[in-house]
Structure formats: structure tokens, C-alpha cells
Amino acid sequence: MTASRTGVWLPVLLLVVGLCSWFHPVLLSGFERSVTDLGDSRFNHYLLEHAYQWMIGNPAHAELWSPPFFYPQKEVLAYSDIMAGFVWFYAPFRFVGIPEVPSFALWMMTACLLTFGVCWQLFRRGLELPPAGSAIGAFLFTFGVPRAAQLGHQQLLPGLYVLAAVSGVVMLGRCASAGDLRFRVIVPATLLACGGCVLQMYSAFYPLWFTLFGLLVLALVGMLGGSTRQDLISLLRSRWLWVVAGMAVIAMLPALRLYLGGLDVMGARREDAVESMLPRLRSWIFLGEGHVLYGRIYQNVPWLADLPMSHEHRLGVGPVTTVLALAGLWRLRGKPWGRALLITSLVIFAATLFLYPGFHPWFAISGWIPGASALRAVARVGLLLLLPLSIGVAWQVSSLKTNAWKVVVILVVLAEQWVVVPTYDARGRFDRVREMAAEVKRDADAFYLVRQTGRRHERGSEYRDQIDAMWVSILSGVPTVNGYSGLIPPGWESLYFNFIRGEKDVERLDRSLEGWALANGADPAEIQMLMTAGSDAEDRP
């Protein structure tokens, strides 16, 4: 097996394996089903569709920052990720007439393809790793359990911009090591690093913040070493680096203004809300109940089964893969950049770790780092540390002497990333939304979707109605008072529970809607109360 042959077929094979493992239910259903649920998946799809409608000039989506939900509030995109930076590989499917549901599935698959491709290039060209190691490292970064655990948060799925930023940093490091800081060398590298950050800013906030945090720690660690310190100092003396970085900051200002406005309204995250999403030691071995190999084991271990917000704590990559990654990172300590990467990873791991209730390193440092107070799901740092883990696996696989051992190890890594991915009937739900859209009065200023339900209705499923209403708004072209996001505007919370079990609920929602409209300068009489029927089965999450 020659290196050139491995470099051609192995990445393609692993990419196909990853795509099929996640999306085979979608493909086998003829795109009738989608990943993963009726909640955040459809919300993120809405944001992509809003960006597409803005791109093609739909008057109902004339303002990118103000998608037509939470009517009549403006700039409500501040309460969530923007997603506009990802629209360029969603829009082509819509341009050629592919409907919304399959377009979203194709977007997810394209995101995986692009992430895998950029990661493979980083490992193969940037870090100069051999083909087999580069391929399995790219697979782990793209399809590893921590990313599969966040598959319902599709804003976290594409990693290509983060990888582009890291690739630019690698290029800058090489320029500094070679003492070559000429314009034609340093500017492309800086543009790649800064351009990745800018595009990520207009896409999703968490990956950008953690990437910048990681690079900051890496720079501080680099200042402790002799050769790396000299390289950093020479880079910082380059005026072109500062010129390009300044241009990147200017390009980020509109999105930054939006996010800061949302933070001013909502305030910083409360510590008790953050504490449940700080990684525990066990988070780093937790793979979730849906893991094919180890899922039943985790179900029978109380120490692992009682994690709060357990879906945010699936940070493990499997016992064998973890050993391989740590062994590879340890072997890299002889290289200056490898040593800096290892120390940086350990610092980030320790800084975000839950120690005991009431005290954690994170709360000691988050007040000093811009943007940290806006983070709630700190456990998503697992997506950042997935990169050094992938580098460690890639290096360790590359160091194996025989092809037979490489095949065995690759198969084990693949098996340990095997999880069951949930799906839902996307086409059926979209058809129902289309029926509701036909009932919207096109001359209304807005509508508010309410649901008639049984008297034994239990709260918990209202988020589905809120997202239904947002899609009804897209199909009808009429804004909606309903909404769903990471945060909600002040004063709107009483409108979230939109169910009607009897006259008391009608009166309750009438009062809430009138109060919301008058407080925000809208005419309650011009807002349609759109009634839909629901079953008790739909009330259950």
C-alpha cells in the first residue's frame, strides 16, 4: 500500500463512512426524514432559510438582523447565532429548486464534506502528517462523538472556518520560524487566519469564542518557550499582521454590535445556569446512552448516568481513541509546537473543569475575558479540544510501523465514534406547517399561533409550536409574534405558553398579546390569532 494510493482512497472512504453513519436514515427515506429533532434543528434551518430569503431580496426578510419573529421587535437575531456565513453552501440547493427539507439535509452533508476536506488539508499540508494519520484525524474531528452529540445544534456542525483560522496560524508560525515575513508571505497567512474568524463571527459565536480563547492561551504558552517566544515577537513586529487584523476587526463590527446589543438587554449568564454545563472529569469519558458499543454500559453506571444536561457532556471519544490521542500528543512534546499544543490543551481543560459546587476556575477567569460572560454551554469546549485530540490520533497512527496495525487502529477509532443519530418526520411536519400558512390573513400586520389542546395538557412541547409559527411566517410572508431562540426579549415570556384548554387560557393569551403589542408600539387589533388543533400525544416532548 503506497502513500500516494492511501492519500487518494482512504480520505474518500472515511468521508463516505462518516456521512453514511450519520445520514443513512435521511438518504433511505428519500429526504422525508431529517436530523435530529423538532427543536433546535428546525430553528437553525429557519435561520439559514431567513438568510437565503434575505439574499434573494424577499421583502418580508429585508433586514438580515431582524427576521420576522418576536414581532414587532427588531434585531432579534442578537438572541441566537447569525448563520449567514453558512448560507453560501445552502443557497445553491434552493436556487436550483430543491425544497427546503432536502436542502437542509444536503447543507448538513456539505458542511461535513467541507469540514473534513479542510481538516485533511490542515493535517496533510499544514502539519505535514502522513496520509493515513491525516485521514483518520480528519474523520475524528468531523465525525467524533463530541460533534455527533451537538448534531441537533447545527450551528456547531461546520468546522471549516475554525480550521481555516488555525491553518492561517500554522502558516504564520512557519513564516516566523523561517524568518520570512515578507508582504507576499505574511499577508496571505494573516488573511486566512483573520478571514476564518470573520466568517465564523457571521455564522456561530461559540466556535469563534473558543477558537480565539485557545489561540490566546497558545500565544501565552508560546511566550514561555525560547524559540517560540522569538517567533511570536517577530510576528508581532510585522505591521502587515496588524493591518490585516485591524481590517478583520472592522469587518466584524456589525455582528459584534448586534451581539453586544443583545448582551446589554439580557445581561450576563447567571452562574447557576452555567454551572450545570461546566465539564466534569466524567464528561471526558462520557459517550451517551445512544453509543452503539458502550451505550448500555453507560446506562448502568449511575456515576455517568446522572450528569446534568447530559447531552452537553458527551465529550468522550472512546477509551482506545483517548489513549491513542494522549499518546500521540505526548510523542509530539519533542517538537516546539507540539509541546505548546499539549500545554495549551491541558490549560484549557483545567480552566473549564467543574471542581465542586460554588467554585470553579471558569468563574475566576471569565470576568476578565471579553465575551465569556455570554457563554452558558461551556462544555462545548469539547469541540475545541477535539482538534488536539485529532492531531494526537493522527500522529500516533502515523507512527505505527505496519499497515496492518494502522488498519486495526483506524477500525477501532471508527467503531468508537459510532452513535445512533435521531431523526424526525421532517416532510410530514413541513406539510402541516404549509396547511397552517394557508390560514394566515395576508393583510394582517402579524399573527400569533395558539394551539387548542386537551385539558390534561402538560407543558413542555410549546417550543414546537413556536418554531412552527416561524416557518408559517416564512411561507406566508407575514411576521409572527411567536418565536424561539437562545434568549427571548424582555416581556415576551408569557406568550411562550400558547396553549388553550378553555376560556381562562383564551383570556390569559388575549391579555398577554395585547400587553406585548402595546408595549412595543404595535396595534393588537391588526394581529391575527391563528388557531391550530393539537393532540395530547403531541404535547409530550
The rounded distance, in Å, linking the Cα atoms of 290 and 181 is: 50
Residue 10 lies in a domain: no
Could you give the 3-state DSSP secondary structure of residue 170? helix
On whether both 412 and 484 belong to a single domain, the answer is no
Residue 287 lies in a domain: yes
**Tens of pLDDT along 150-183?**
999 999 999 999 999 999 999 998 888 888 788 8
Q: Is the pLDDT of residue 306 over 90?
A: no
The rounded distance, in Å, linking the Cα atoms of 247 and 193 is: 12
Q: Is the pLDDT of residue 229 over 80?
A: yes
Grid cell locating 46: 429557519
Residue 14 lies in a domain: no
On whether both 329 and 438 belong to a single domain, the answer is no
On whether both 86 and 153 belong to a single domain, the answer is yes
On whether both 330 and 387 belong to a single domain, the answer is yes
On whether both 407 and 457 belong to a single domain, the answer is no
Predicted TM-score (pTM) of the model is 0.94
**Among candidate residues 371, 391, 416, the one where a domain is terminated:** 416
Share of the chain above pLDDT 90, in %: 76
Residue 54 lies in a domain: no
Q: How many domains does the chain have?
A: 2
**Tens of pLDDT along 341-385?**
999 999 999 999 998 777 788 988 888 888 888 888 999 999 999
On whether both 395 and 488 belong to a single domain, the answer is no
Domain encompassing residue 114: 81-416
**Among candidate residues 388, 416, 444, the one where a domain is terminated:** 416
Residue 28 lies in a domain: no
- What stretches of 179-238 show up as alpha helix (H) in DSSP? 183-201, 205-222, 226-236
CA angle 4, 9, 15 (to 5 degrees): 135
| Residue 230 pLDDT grade (very low, low, confident, very high; cuts 50, 70, 90) | confident
Nearest to 203 by CA among 107, 101, 279, 69: 107
On whether both 153 and 247 belong to a single domain, the answer is yes
| Residue 295 pLDDT grade (very low, low, confident, very high; cuts 50, 70, 90) | confident
Q: Is the pLDDT of residue 416 over 70?
A: yes
The rounded distance, in Å, linking the Cα atoms of 183 and 181 is: 7
On whether both 204 and 96 belong to a single domain, the answer is yes
**Among candidate residues 389, 416, 443, the one where a domain is terminated:** 416
Residue 473 lies in a domain: yes
Q: Is the pLDDT of residue 402 over 70?
A: yes
On whether both 313 and 410 belong to a single domain, the answer is yes
Q: Is the pLDDT of residue 541 over 70?
A: no
- Over residues 442-457, the mean pLDDT reads 88
On whether both 411 and 433 belong to a single domain, the answer is no
CB under 8 Å to 302, separation ≥6 — which residues? Answer: none
On whether both 214 and 320 belong to a single domain, the answer is yes
